[in-house]
Amino acid sequence: MNYRHGFHAGNFADVVKHAILARILVYLSTKPAAFRVLDTHAGAGLYDLESDEATRGGEWQAGIARLRQAQLDPAAVAMLAPYLAAIDAVNVSGVRRFYPGSPLIARALLRRQDRLTACELEPNAAAALSEELRGDTGVKAIAIDGWTALKAYLPPKERRGLVVIDPPFEDPDEFARLADALAMAHRKWPTGIMLVWYPIKRRADADRFVQQMRQAGLRDALNVDFSIGEVRVDARLVACGLVVINPPWTLEGELETLLPALAAALGQGSGGFQIERLAGQK
């Protein structure tokens, strides 16, 4: 799978991933101690929804645009507020042309004492990311391979924080590489929160990865499976998953409010969601 994010920015998968990312960051901000966010595959940072790539893909129209138009209950509105505020922060005068990637959403939700390390290796995306984050105190863009970053920057000196892992899934062995990298990262930082996104194009591949997570000896982990249609290898992406290692104690309950609202807003008739605890107890 070649996941060039300019084509997919703001799609249903981004909405789910970034809404959950925002909830984790809100939780981390409830304690005064500083925290670190390490984003291993940060991308370009900001995406123009009127660009040629976004226009050709048009996936944002079934993602963030659909969410903006949805009638949501007050509890879901409150859950989504930090995420939507981060989107508004990169737009002006009410025009919603730009969509922020995970490093810009994280930046919007950091406090003065918190830190962000955003990593990207692809030269064009790395240059764009560096420009977007230039001059921000406590925020650093580094042109480095994301898998190398996991070895180099964990554990952080802050001792609290989040690792965001959203690889491009361009290589056929990406799931195996992801499982190995997660095991290594968890050994280096067993108390760190880790948010891992993965596409579901072949159910067998995703199921195999989730089974590896069940058998990885994790103390606490959740898996979210979200779809807006029937999974078919020859069709566009309609399902994705997220594994959260060491989830905040509040997250599972929040997902029980958030995911039904997102499924209703983004679903296209045959989609749905599942929350599965891979380790630990609620």
- pLDDT tens-digit readout, 26-63: 999 999 999 999 999 999 999 998 888 878 878 899 89
**Average pLDDT of the segment spanning 206-217:** 91
- pLDDT tens-digit readout, 52-61: 887 887 889 9
Q: Is 176 helix (H, G, I), strand (E, B) or coil?
A: helix
Q: 7-11, 194-198, 248-252: lowest mean pLDDT where?
A: 7-11
Pairing of strands 161-165, 98-100: unpaired
> In this structure, how many other beta carbons lie within 10 angstroms of the beta carbon of residue 251?
19
pLDDT of 2: 45
User: CA–CA separation, 100 vs 103, rounded Å?
Assistant: 8
Average pLDDT of the chain, as a whole number: 91
CA angle 44, 188, 175 (to 5 degrees): 55
> In this structure, how many other beta carbons lie within 10 angstroms of the beta carbon of residue 14?
26
- pLDDT tens-digit readout, 215-271: 888 889 999 999 998 877 777 888 999 999 999 999 999 999 999 999 999 987 677
Tokens standing for residue 106 = 């994280």
282 has pLDDT over 80: no
User: Locate tokens 């939507």: which residue?
Assistant: 84
User: Locate tokens 């995306």: which residue?
Assistant: 125
pLDDT of 168: 87
Please classify residue 51 by burial: count the beta carbons closer than 10 Å to its beta carbon, then call 0-12 exposed, 13-18 middle and 19+ buried. middle
Instruction: Pick the catalytic residue from 14, 166, 205, 225.
Output: 166
Confidence of residue 4 (pLDDT cuts 50, 70, 90): low
Would you call 52 a catalytic residue per the annotation? no
**Among the listed residues 195, 254, 226, 218, the one whose alpha carbon sits nearest the alpha carbon of residue 75:** 254
CATH of region 5-279, choose from 3.50.50.60, 3.40.710.10, 3.40.50.720, 3.40.50.150: 3.40.50.150
Domain residue limits, the chain: 5-279
Q: Is 49 helix (H, G, I), strand (E, B) or coil?
A: coil
- pLDDT tens-digit readout, 64-83: 999 999 999 999 999 999 99
